[in-house]
Chains A and B, each alone.
Chain A
């Protein structure tokens, strides 16, 4: 499994186990911000989760909707070619 696939697997698992309310299932393509899935505390956890995975802090300028729309999008932006971050 590639690093990106692992990241998606772990983040989707975390969202379903720790964040999503009962009866709500999150997958890699679920829009994360069109509902109230993530509040201001959870969004920090999401960012921290991503930072931990890539081993780098994410600058505020990269914290925007087109980078964080879905888990798949986060992975594509921040883990584009394994360890190369191009956001």
Chain B
């Protein structure tokens, strides 16, 4: 647990080097927000929603008196009102919806995210619930491109501090069929998504961070505009904390004595490579 907290702190420091605009990630996201983000045509396979019991006293008494109250409650749930966030960033776009941003906006947040992946679920590697730190940038194209470039440098520095060996690879999202291949191909050709990939000793890949250039997608979907009236560009960098934990444990072992001397962010991380005096 202390190691996870150290990693959490290191990623928070890395985010703070980019922005002091830290948000508290909401525990849920509305169906309307995901609809606006065209989520249901992209990744509906992951959706996990929150339901509740009705306030009907008779129904609650029936559940309480049942021999199997858990099963009784499960069969009495109301339709879901809210989605458990599949990513932190959707709420940040919704918060800027239908507005003009006068200057680039960079914000960060950490939250629990939920993606149901059935038989692919695996502890630490692919949890149904997992912890995500995101840094999101809204602005002009060059703002987002520069933000992503800086982020690659900062994350590479963190990788070095933690002593984990990773590679940066072009990637695409696992879009929902039927147009999955086309969307993934477009993403690959345009170089819109890169992942920092750790490899297990057997060569199996584990993406521990992703760098995403959304172009105008969310700016248009959420009507977020620049002062000249054009839609904002957006990009985000996302970290799966449990995956970073896995990478450190696989590299350095489970004994604290073998871990890097300090996992806290040092001065090297506060600035991208190449800016040393």
Contacts and interface: CB of A to CB of B under 8 A. Distances in A.
A43 B185 CA distance: 7
Nearest to B184: A60
B182 A43 contact: yes
Select the residue from A43, A60, A64, A65 with max chain B CB neighbours within 10 A: A43
A47 B186 CA distance: 11
Contacts of B189: 33, 43, 63-65, 67-68
B179 A63 contact: no
Contacts of A64: 170, 188-189, 191
B188 A40 contact: no
B185 A33 contact: no
B190 A33 contact: yes
B170 A38 contact: no
B52 interface: no
A77 to B, nearest CB: 12
A44 B185 contact: yes
A60 B262 CA distance: 40
Contacts of A82: none
Interface string A35-50: 0001111011001000
Interface string B153-195: 0000000000000000010000000010111111011110000
